[in-house]
Amino acid sequence: MKKKLSKRQLDVMKVLWNHSSPMVASDIVSGSPALNINTVQSCLKVLLKEELIEVADIVYSGTVLSRSYRPLISRDEYFNTEYKDIIGTSSTSSLIAAFIKGEQNASELERLEQIIQKRKKRNRGNTLMEISFGPFLPCFCNYVSYNISLYYFYTVPGMYLRKILSGCF
């Protein structure tokens, strides 16, 4: 994303994010009472230029042909870039801690905990380790979850043999 969205552009994006199907400008206006058709069309033009939305199709809106639009960036992607701009080089954990303190919904906190656990498992599964096997040359192995592949090379004068051991640990 090249630049920060204005309040009205963000309002248009929110309406598009809240609907699973592409929308025409008049539907976007009816989706947010704070917007009028001229503002929406102006915002759509800028969002198209910035490649944040695309023309999904040409459809009939009443008796007139209209463009329907869909977002190219998700709400999560937008939020991720925005919060990184806001916190800069500060710690992400302090921002997340502030969100957690303000959260009242227990099911949402459980969901956050599941996301953290899933991420920990994925990080734990992506450690790079050096392994040596006696006569074999040392190699690097990337562990992925519990199913890993060990790569080793055995040297024979003038040739290298590659063997792959797969297994669950």
Q: Give pLDDT tens digits for 23-52.
A: 999 999 998 888 999 999 999 999 999 999
pLDDT digits (tens, 9 = 90+) for 59-105: 998 899 999 999 999 998 898 888 777 777 666 777 778 778 888 88
Q: Are 29 and 35 in contact (CB under 8 A)?
A: yes
| % the chain with pLDDT above 90 | 37
Confidence of residue 130 (pLDDT cuts 50, 70, 90): very low
Provide the CB-side half-sphere exposure for 81 (13 A, CA): 10
